[in-house]
Amino acid sequence: MRNKFLIIFLFILIVAIPANCFALEKKDNYVDFTNWYKEKTGKDVPYISAAVIEYETLKPLYFHQEERQMPSASLMKLITASEFVKHFPLWNKTYNLTWQDSEGDLRQYVGPRDSFVTLKLKSTERIKIKDIFASTLIASANNSANKLSKITEISKTQFLENMGKIASEWGLTKTLIDDPSGLSMKNLTSARDMAIVTCHAFSNENISEYSSKPQYTFTTREGRQINLKHTVYDLRNNPQNYFGAKTGFLNETRFHVTAGYITPMKKKICVAVLSVYKRSDSEDAVVKIGEWVDEMYK
């Protein structure tokens, strides 16, 4: 009788466990993505480092020089956004973006003739917090990210310290934080760390919502309409394949991309591809990784 009850209990337990609690397992014909990609394309992988982990379990699926530390560029904005949403922002409250938010704070990180992405507003124009947030994640505006660090109830210094605490809580071993925009070369990370950040950040509904919008239109308080397009071109064309994505670029590192990607067989994965010479190759690597995961994992 005891065995009968045990069998019934185990059956109920198995049925009750959500399917996504079971980690993906390698198939018998497993081939490392580095080799798979070369067989498919005839070329070596285009990145310096990469990491792929399963969304629900954070289980590693693929690593390539995953601990190599390098400047994070705008991928840092995912940690900025993760700290910002903790402060329960009043999304419809309005602010302007000042010279200090842009040139005053950020010029120190780039050369006098170098350009960097900003949301272009007149000094008198005001926009909602949700639009500043959207500009940070969709258009990768550096002044928007900087503004987020200055409009909570804490100081910018404390905001940056809290970003460091997030990095510690998430087990990021190669990530160092110097400024909220990612322009500083002292912002450092690795592919492994950014794959973990991707999973954590996109588990927040606000970050995931804005990071997966192909485009976004808003109006300033003064009535001027502003249109933003996502910096990941493949997301613009295939938004159904993403639950979030973020790009980064510095002249020193070239293109980074991190994505919450949904494979053709609907597996959710977190992908970080760092330091690719061409933007299109960075996005193509994400798409190919999705195909590979379906082929190589149960």
Calpha distance 167→189 (Å, rounded): 10
pLDDT at residue 5 tops 60: no
What is the distance between the terminal CA atoms of the chain, rounded to a whole angstrom?
36
Mean pLDDT over residues 154-179, rounded?
Answer: 98
Mean pLDDT over residues 142-157, rounded?
Answer: 97
Calpha distance 248→283 (Å, rounded): 12
Q: Give the pLDDT band (50/70/90) at residue 137.
A: very high
Calpha distance 54→50 (Å, rounded): 14
pLDDT at residue 20 tops 70: no
Query: What is the pTM for the complete model shown?
Result: 0.92
The lowest-confidence range among 20-34, 108-122, 256-270, 283-297 is: 20-34
pLDDT at 140: 98
pLDDT at 36: 97
CB-based contacts of 118, cutoff 8 Å, min separation 6: 97, 102, 106, 141, 142, 143, 144
- State the average pLDDT for the chain: 93
Q: Give the pLDDT band (50/70/90) at residue 112.
A: confident
pLDDT at residue 10 tops 80: no
pLDDT at 22: 62
pLDDT at 19: 42
Domains of the chain, CATH where assigned: 2-296 (3.40.710.10)
Q: Give the pLDDT band (50/70/90) at residue 183.
A: very high
Mean pLDDT over residues 189-200, rounded?
Answer: 98
Count CA within 13 A, CB hemisphere, residue 124: 3
pLDDT at 132: 98
pLDDT at residue 12 tops 90: no
